[in-house]
Amino acid sequence: MKRLISVVLGLFASAAFAQVQPFHANLGLSTQVFSARGYDLVDLDDHFHSFRFAAGTTFELRAWRLDLEAGVTTGGNDATSHVQLATGLGLVGLDLSATARFPVTAWFHPYVRVGVGYDWATLSVTNPANRLSQTVGVVSGQAGAGVQFTVRVTRENQRGVYLFLDLGIGGVLRPGAAFTSVAPPPPVGPQADPIGQRGGVNLGTLPLSGITWRGIAGIRF
Amino acid sequence: MRHAWLVILLAVVGCGRRGSLYEGAIAPLPLVGTSNALVQVVPATRRAVLVTPGAVTPSAVVIGAGARVAARVPGADLVAILSGSARAPRLELLDTETRELTVLDPGSAFDRITFSPEGRFAVLTADFERTSGLAARNLNEAALLDVPSRTVTRLQLDVEGLAPRLVTFGPVETNRRLVAVALERGVALFDATRPEVPARRISLRPPGSTVENSVSQVLFSRDARWLYLRATGLDDVVVIELGSETGAPVSASINFVAGGTGLVDLELAPPSLPDSVVALYAGTPELVVLDARGIEDNVRRLTLPQVMGAMERLSDRRVLVWGASVAAAWDVIDGRSGVATLLGTPERVTVSPGSERVMLSQASSATAPGVLTALTVSEEPNRLRLRTQPIQLARKPTASAVSSDGETMFLAVPPGTGSTQTALVTVDVRTLALAEVLLDAPVVNLFQLPSSGVLAAEHSGNVLGDVSLVPAGATERLSVTRLSDFALTGDLDRPEDRP
């Protein structure tokens, strides 16, 4: 354990001595484009918007910079389906990603990015009589490319603090989310005379793979 | 290259629109019950959803587009579905046990399907009130489905009337099975075992007459020798003597037999009177046994204390009639009769053939307490005695069902004002023992699933489907399973809808 801690501290120290910004945090908007027909149940234009917050660190690999970050994504949308049903999809995800960034100039950094994650997808259907929902978990894999525009906000003789704007596109792959038991919420609290059981509805599988694009603003220091 | 980037940019940012898959309303067809499952046909999703006792999640079978009629095949775990477009109609048979789907070509876009009581044959007919999407349609065309061989034969009725109104199957005979298709102005007769033989067409309108007489009731005698018709605007029973031909159109001799005024119902006479029919008249309140051959000496009459609205056969020799707060039974053979006063006008009448007991449910108004009356007929030397045993119900029943042996009756009874619950009451017809279990929503329909011993109560207020499955006779709510919104089953898996 001590050896592991020493290695990690050594890496951070080497990064600091190399004048590479070891930490960054960012917040932005990402959109996933799902063109599968089943997705039309919960959306009107195939675009699933979500907010993403991430934080991580950076390593210098010769001319490249390697950003490792952990992120949280959350988003949702809703639609009216079958004339009278309010439908919605919510997605909360955790991901780990690695970005290989090449500083062409001090302010222009193209990059490629890969990541893995785990998402909780919640499908809800509300009709005048009932509200049904189910949350399922799916793993995800992401890859993409983009550019970062960087601006230094501190003087040269001070520790570097940078603001950056990240624009990227890519793709996300997930196994379809199987909503096999969409059901009303169970009753809360003790029931005086409950019925035996309440069944659910097997709506099928919602494809959640597609193209992604994102716009992120962040700080690196 | 510049255009390629533009295409990618548009795909990512600007494109994407909703298809039409989820824009139509979910409008499922009425539930159909077989012995082992409830089936809900959902035209919008092209699914037949199977609600099966023991499965807490219903499953679905993909069917053709444009489903508009679903009906159970009697005596089998089969559901027949009329689907397809007007130019490409389909008849689908879904086996609810194996989930196998058989698709047949009915030849034309039909709107109704009528099965023989044992489920061997069905006649497909068009509905004059319904538009098919075609510019022109021959409503005189019908089709015969032979269920065991899964074959459909088109029939040209070629009669004067526009569209069939009633389809009635005759009794099972060794060498033929007659079918009567009633139309506005007459009836067409054909042999279901030989659909290639042209139908016999019988017009009710005398030559030169312009009077419209629509057939409203059709009754075959037990030996298929007679066909009795009740028609609007006619006090006479139309009696058609049928020949015994096979392989040729059935010969028919028409006669009009008078008995009284205001003919409202017909029933078969006892087997010992094979050439007679029992007629109920409202103008002259009486029951009359009419001889089909017109022999006046064979006519028997029972004058009723007041106008009666309907008639039911109690046993081979007795009939029951009822009207406003009164019921009467008549032994057609020996002439004995009896009358009972009821607490209201019966709305549902259930005859238990084994015990000659009749269950009548009635209510004087929509909000008044209901009454279930068990009526038992017993014999006295010179009359029939009608004994009534009223059972108080909190409200008028909203649905009822009877077990196949007629020994158990199920009623859905709202317990009281302001309550959203409904009691499912089980009545043992012989002992009048009662059991009830409370369900959480109003009930509009009851189905028996005898293979699993389960009763399915369909609740109102949810277009996507809502049923409670209750073991028959259960009194514990813990035995109840509620399934709702199952019309959405498979809504996300729509590969068959890909353009």
Query: Across the interface, do A127 and B44 touch by the CB < 8 Å criterion?
Result: no
Query: Across the interface, do A37 and B19 touch by the CB < 8 Å criterion?
Result: yes
Tens digit of pLDDT for each residue in B105-148? 998 888 899 999 999 999 998 876 666 666 666 777 889 999 99
Tens digit of pLDDT for each residue in B279-331? 999 998 999 999 999 888 888 999 999 999 899 998 889 999 998 889 999 99
d(CA B322, CA B306): 9
* ipTM associated with this complex: 0.84
Our CA-based measurement puts residue B396 at a distance from the nearest CA of chain A, in whole angstroms, of 24
Q: Which residue of B has its CA nearest to A38?
A: B492
Facing A47 at nearest CB: one of B16, B59, B478:
B16
The torsion defined by the Cα of B491, B492, B498 and B499, in degrees rounded to 10, comes to 70
- Percent of chain A predicted with pLDDT > 90: 68
Q: How many CB pairs under 8 A join A and B?
A: 143
CB A100 within 8 A of CB A83: no
Residue B275 pLDDT exceeds 60: yes
Our CA-based measurement puts residue A164 at a distance from the nearest CA of chain B, in whole angstroms, of 22
B4 touches chain A (CB under 8 A): no
Which of residues 399 through 438 in chain B touch A, CB cutoff 8 A? Answer: 438
Contacts with A127 from chain B: Cβ below 8 Å: 462-464, 485
Among A155-164, B129-138, B356-365, name the one with the lowest average pLDDT.
B129-138
Length of chain A: 221
d(CA A68, CA A54): 10
Query: Across the interface, do B492 and A203 touch by the CB < 8 Å criterion?
Result: yes
Quick one: pLDDT at residue A12?
A: 47
Helix (H, G, I), strand (E, B) or coil at B465: coil
Residue A3 pLDDT exceeds 70: no
Our CA-based measurement puts residue A122 at a distance from the nearest CA of chain B, in whole angstroms, of 14
Residue with tokens 């259960």: B474
Neighbours of B247 (CB within 10 A): 11
Query: Across the interface, do B492 and A179 touch by the CB < 8 Å criterion?
Result: yes
CB B140 within 8 A of CB B158: yes
Q: What is the DSSP letter of B204?
A: S
Question: Which contiguous run of DSSP H or E holds residue A9?
Answer: helix A2-17
Neighbours of B440 (CB within 10 A): 16
CB B298 within 8 A of CB B310: no
Distance between start and end Cα atoms, chain A: 28
Tens digit of pLDDT for each residue in B25-48? 899 999 999 999 999 999 999 999
Contacts with B21 from chain A: Cβ below 8 Å: 37, 40-41
Our CA-based measurement puts residue A200 at a distance from the nearest CA of chain B, in whole angstroms, of 5
Query: Across the interface, do B25 and A84 touch by the CB < 8 Å criterion?
Result: yes
d(CA B278, CA B271): 12
Quick one: pLDDT at residue A16?
A: 46
Q: What's the whole-number mean pLDDT along residues B345-366?
A: 74
Query: Across the interface, do A195 and B478 touch by the CB < 8 Å criterion?
Result: yes
Facing A33 at nearest CB: one of B16, B19, B22:
B16
Quick one: pLDDT at residue A18?
A: 47
Quick one: pLDDT at residue A15?
A: 47
- pLDDT band at residue A128, thresholds of 50, 70 and 90? confident
Nearest residue to B451 via CA among B467, B472, B468: B472
Q: Mean pLDDT in chain A?
A: 89
Q: Which residue of B has its CA nearest to A32?
A: B12
Q: What's the whole-number mean pLDDT along residues B347-367?
A: 72
Distance between start and end Cα atoms, chain B: 30
Tens digit of pLDDT for each residue in A96-121? 999 999 999 999 999 999 999 999 99
CB B96 within 8 A of CB B39: yes
Structural tokens at position B469: 């499955």
Facing B12 at nearest CB: one of A205, A206, A213:
A213
SS3 content of chain B, % helix, strand, coil (to 5): 5, 45, 50
Using alpha carbons only, what angle is made at residue B353 by residues B352 and B357, rounded to the nearest 5 degrees?
Answer: 50
Facing B56 at nearest CB: one of A194, A195, A200:
A200
Facing A201 at nearest CB: one of B19, B463, B489:
B489
Our CA-based measurement puts residue B144 at a distance from the nearest CA of chain A, in whole angstroms, of 36
Our CA-based measurement puts residue B312 at a distance from the nearest CA of chain A, in whole angstroms, of 39
CB B322 within 8 A of CB B355: no
DSSP character string of B116-181: -TTSSEEEEE--TTS--S-S---TTEEEEEETTTTEEEEEE---SSSS--EEEE----SS--EEEE
Facing B21 at nearest CB: one of A37, A127, A206:
A37
Query: Across the interface, do A130 and B485 touch by the CB < 8 Å criterion?
Result: yes
| Residue of B485, B486, B497, B498 for testing the chain A interface, max A β-carbons within 10 Å | B485
Q: Mean pLDDT in chain B?
A: 87
Query: Across the interface, do A194 and B478 touch by the CB < 8 Å criterion?
Result: yes
Our CA-based measurement puts residue A18 at a distance from the nearest CA of chain B, in whole angstroms, of 38
Query: Across the interface, do B16 and A46 touch by the CB < 8 Å criterion?
Result: yes
Facing A195 at nearest CB: one of B22, B55, B482:
B482
| Residue of A46, A81, A123, A132 for testing the chain B interface, max B β-carbons within 10 Å | A81
| Residue of B45, B466, B491 for testing the chain A interface, max A β-carbons within 10 Å | B491
Give the strand pairing for A197-198 and B481-484: parallel
d(CA B69, CA B63): 13
Contacts with A193 from chain B: Cβ below 8 Å: 438, 477
CB B48 within 8 A of CB B40: yes
Tens digit of pLDDT for each residue in B157-170? 876 666 788 999 99
DSSP character string of B256-317: EE---SSEEEEEEPPTT-TTEEEEEETTTTEEEEEETT--GGG-EEEE-SS-EEEEEE-SSS
d(CA A203, CA A123): 10
Facing B466 at nearest CB: one of A81, A129, A169:
A129
Facing B481 at nearest CB: one of A85, A125, A196:
A196
Nearest residue to A119 via CA among A145, A97, A78, A90: A90
